[in-house]
Structures are given as C-alpha cells and as structure tokens.
Amino acid sequence: MIISKTLDYAVRTLIYLGKQPSRRSILMKEIAENQKIPLSYLAKVMRQLVKAGIIFSEFGPNGGYSLKKMPSEITLKQVYEAVEGELKMIECFDTPGSSCVFTSCCGQADIWHEVEAKLIKILENITLQDVIERDCIYPEKVLTINKQNTLINKQERKNANT
Amino acid sequence: MIISKTLDYAVRTLIYLGKQPSRRSILMKEIAENQKIPLSYLAKVMRQLVKAGIIFSEFGPNGGYSLKKMPSEITLKQVYEAVEGELKMIECFDTPGSSCVFTSCCGQADIWHEVEAKLIKILENITLQDVIERDCIYPEKVLTINKQNTLINKQERKNANT
DNA sequence: TAATTTTGGACTTTATATATCCACGATGTA
DNA sequence: TACATCGTGGATATATAAAGTCCAAAATTA
Ligand code: SF4
Ligand code: SF4
C-alpha cells in the first residue's frame, strides 16, 4: 500500500513539466538529470504516460515531452493507473484469472471494494495543479493552456519564432 | 496498492474466529484447513496477530486461538498494521533511513500524506463486525463478549465444564 | 513423563519492482 | 540524400520483497 518508486518518478516528471513557463518540449535527458531518475528507466515511464494520453512526445531535434492536458485536468488517479494499471484493492473480483474458493461468499471482498471506491474518489479529486501548488518552489508562471491549444505545439513554436 | 495475500489470510482468520458461537480456542490447524491457508505460513500470521494484541493464544492440548477483543472493537487499520507494519503511503517522510534529495521541497509528499490520513480514517471506521455482517453465511450466534471477559478464557471453559 | 500445540528464527522459493541495453523508427537540417 | 537527434519497443538482467517451508525449543495438559 505504498507509492512505488515508479509512480514517484511519474509524478515528479509531471510536476517538472507542469512547472515549465511555456509549452516547449523538454528532453527526457533534462528531466532525468534534474530529477535524478535513471534515464533508461525514465524512458519506460514516459512511454506509459504518453500511452495514457497524459503527455505528448515529439521525435527528432527540438523534440521531447510536454503535457497534453492542463495540470488541473490531470488527476492522480490517471497518473496512478498510467503506471500501475487499473487501481484494484483486491484481485479476487473482476479478475478472470483469479479463482478464490470463497469468491461467491466473502464479506471481505465487499468491504475492500468499498474502500477501493472511496480511495479512487479521493485520487480523482486531486489534480497535478494541486500537487504543483503544494510544492515549495512555486513558479510565478505556471503552465496554463487553452483547451484549443492542447494539440498545437511545435507549430506554435515555429510561428512564435518567425 | 493491493491487499496482500498475507492480509487476506489475516482477515479470513479473524472472520473465522469471530464467527465462532462461543469463545473456545480454535486450533491453527483447523483454521488452515477450513480457510485453505498453508499451515506453516499461517503460523507466522497468527504470531503477528497475537503480537498486535488482536488474538489470544494458548499452548498445549485444548490450546489454540481466540479473539482478544470483540469484533466490533477490531478495526481494519489494526489488522492491516498487525501484518504490514505502520500504514505509510510514502517512505520519504517519517523514515530515518530515507534520503530523497527533494524531501525538503516536495509537493508530492504533502499530497500523499493527506491521502494517507484519509485512508487511515476509512480503515479505522471499519470493524471486523462490519466484515462479518457482510459475509453471506452470517451465523445466528455471533461472538459477543463483555469487556470484562476479555482475558478469561480457559478458566471460563473449565468452570463451564464442572 | 509423554503428548500436544504454539513459538521463534533460519531458510528457500517465487514473484515483482527496478534498472539496463541496444537496435529501430520518426523527425529536422543541410 | 545524408546525417544527427531523440523517442520507441522489447529483451534482458538485477535487486528486493512476498510467500512458503522447516525444525527444534518452550509452554501446557494429563
Ligand atoms: S477470501 Fe474473499 S477477499 Fe480473499 S480472495 Fe477470496 S473472495 Fe477475495
Ligand atoms: S520526491 Fe517527494 S514524494 Fe518523492 S520521495 Fe522525494 S520527497 Fe518523497
């Protein structure tokens, strides 16, 4: 019942991205160095975050990562499930592979399900924005993007440069 | 963030003990067979429950285990901590050995601490009584003991037999 | 004393989390 | 096109923790 190192890495990465004053892409290498995360392991975590639709990745020179949503739209539940898979307190229910002989008659499973539901609700109500605001080094310029801009990125930078 | 097998064993054991109509001692072997738990592993779990003051153990013939408190006085938090140790979401705080470079400046730790506090509160508000009542085979006679009797056990049985 | 049952700890096995590696695919620049 | 940059994907290794086993010692009863 403890936050894994992997999840810690993921949250720190998102904090780092969320704190960027502009939406430029950040190199994985920069994150790894700044956050003291093994680069080759971070690569894996990043992939999971991309796959979950939380961050945005770009190849090649000037490539890197950026948030795909506003910090206030990213919940801890999303981040948790991006790296750990679906949040389940106990495996016996909703799990095809499991085969506990007591499944059909167990008060415990019910109870854990209720706890699970409450925990999920808690995590759904905490956003990356909340986490960043709690950070002691709170940047003056926090990333705030219009929903319309969510998918613009390199293009934006290109236009800005001309 | 999943209930370990060990905790599942512990709760099932307590349900089994709590369902006993009288306060007689139950053999570890009986629990292991009834609950399909490896005997030699269960032995370890029982020790932890004894150590935590949740159950009562007696040596020798007619020995075995029984609840030390009423089901309504045993919370899931107690059971959790009996087998898993103190419930902590994240290690960086309150842990002397830990040495995260960000400890002094991390919004994440704060947040997890809040989640931890909420989760603990939830687990403190669920008792073994609640779990047993949720069980589909709810015994007519549920174990209910006066607080005064908490420590009487074998003596009780002896008197009853004469 | 002998039988019974828990206790304590050392030990092994198995599973999971964490970390590493390298060849490949996508992109930008010249 | 050629080349440098940077993320992707999967295979593999290592470390750590969970789960399970075993046996001799201690406590109790008869
Ligand atoms: S005993 Fe109950 S809670 Fe435990 S695995 Fe079986 S069904 Fe689930
Ligand atoms: S980064 Fe923050 S939450 Fe993570 S271990 Fe360090 S202090 Fe704790």
Q: B134 in a domain, yes or no?
A: yes
Is residue B116 less than 8 Å (CB to CB) from chain A? Answer: no
Mean pLDDT of the A122-128 span: 98
Per-residue pLDDT at A22: 77
Q: B121 in a domain, yes or no?
A: no
Q: Is A65 helix (H, G, I), strand (E, B) or coil?
A: strand
CATH number, domain at A156?
A: 1.10.10.10
Per-residue pLDDT at B22: 77
Q: Higher-confidence residue: B23 or B155? A: B23
* Residue A35 and residue A46 in contact, taking contact as beta carbons nearer than 8 Å: no
Band of the pLDDT at B162, cuts 50, 70, 90? very low
DSSP string, A21-89: SS---B-HHHHHHHHT--HHHHHHHHHHHHHTTSEEEE-STT-EEEESS-GGG-BHHHHHHHHH-S--S
- Span B56-67, pLDDT tens digits: 999 999 999 999
Per-residue pLDDT at B158: 37
Band of the pLDDT at B104, cuts 50, 70, 90? confident
Mean pLDDT of the B16-39 span: 93
Contacts of A7 in chain B (CB under 8 A): none
User: Residue B41: CB partners within 8 Å, gap ≥ 6?
Assistant: B9
Is residue B128 less than 8 Å (CB to CB) from chain A? Answer: no
User: Residue B82: CB partners within 8 Å, gap ≥ 6?
Assistant: B10, B48, B49, B51, B52, B54
Query: Mean pLDDT, chain A, as a whole number?
Result: 83
Question: Residue B97 is which amino acid?
Answer: G
The model's pTM is 0.86
Per-residue pLDDT at B160: 37
Per-residue pLDDT at B24: 83
Q: B19 in a domain, yes or no?
A: yes
Q: How far is the CA of B64 from the C1' of C8 (A)?
A: 17
Q: A52 in a domain, yes or no?
A: yes
**Ligand 2 centroid – CA B55 distance (Å):** 37
Q: A133 in a domain, yes or no?
A: yes
- The residue among A53, A106, A115 whose CA lies nearest residue B11 is A106
- Is 60 exceeded by the pLDDT of residue A138? no
**Ligand 2 centroid – CA B92 distance (Å):** 6
* Residue A132 and residue A15 in contact, taking contact as beta carbons nearer than 8 Å: yes
* Residue B145 and residue B56 in contact, taking contact as beta carbons nearer than 8 Å: no
Report the atom number in ligand 1 closest to the C-alpha of A101: 6
Domain count, chain B: 1
User: Residue A27: CB partners within 8 Å, gap ≥ 6?
Assistant: A63, A64, A65
* Residue B21 and residue B66 in contact, taking contact as beta carbons nearer than 8 Å: no
Q: A63 in a domain, yes or no?
A: yes
- The residue among B125, B4, B44 whose CA lies nearest residue A2 is B4
Is residue B50 less than 8 Å (CB to CB) from chain A? Answer: no
Tell me, using a 6 A CB cutoff, whether residue B15 lines ligand 1.
no
Q: A108 in a domain, yes or no?
A: no
Domain that holds residue B61: 5-85+127-161
- Span A52-98, pLDDT tens digits: 999 999 999 999 999 999 999 999 999 999 999 999 999 876 555 55
